[in-house]
Amino acid sequence: PTFSFPEELISDLYLMHRTGKSKTLKGYDFMGQFLSIISHLVLKENSPSTWSPENYVKKAKRFIIDNYSYDINVESVAFAIGIDRTYLYRLFVKHENTAPSKYISNVRLDEAAKKLRETELSITEIALSSGFNDAPHFYKAFYNKFKISPKKYRED
């Protein structure tokens, strides 16, 4: 993604650079410029354009893809992107035609399938590294999605 620097941010960076080189300006001046730069970045991240339903779904999907191997659930995803879990559910159903819990499961299963093909890890290791709490739960979910056991999938 490209990032365009607003003029105010460029100006603050320049002033910060000058402040850092000055022998007469105090550390508070430098810190003030630094905090101004941070505020520009925070305001850009939290601008109204980032509040669209599509952006919430995009942020949720990114969070899930980045964290599928951890013990995440719909509530933790909603918390991470700053919305209510019910609202996240409605957004996913509308924009992805699936529940967020199903999306999390599908990401985990797709990553597990990839690991089955590309690694020599045991099926239990793959299950645990893909975010499943135990191998039996993984076996059942894998079979329900792919209509084949993880062992057969690896062999084919």
pLDDT tens across 64-75, in order? 999 999 999 999
Structure tokens at 134: 């135990």
Give the contacts of 139 (CB within 8 A, at least 6 positions apart).
123, 127, 149, 150
Of residues 15 and 79, more confidently modeled? 79
pLDDT tens-digit map of 3-58: 455 565 566 666 666 655 655 555 666 666 666 666 656 655 555 555 788 999 99
pLDDT for 156 equals: 86
pTM (two decimals): 0.69
pLDDT score for 22: 56
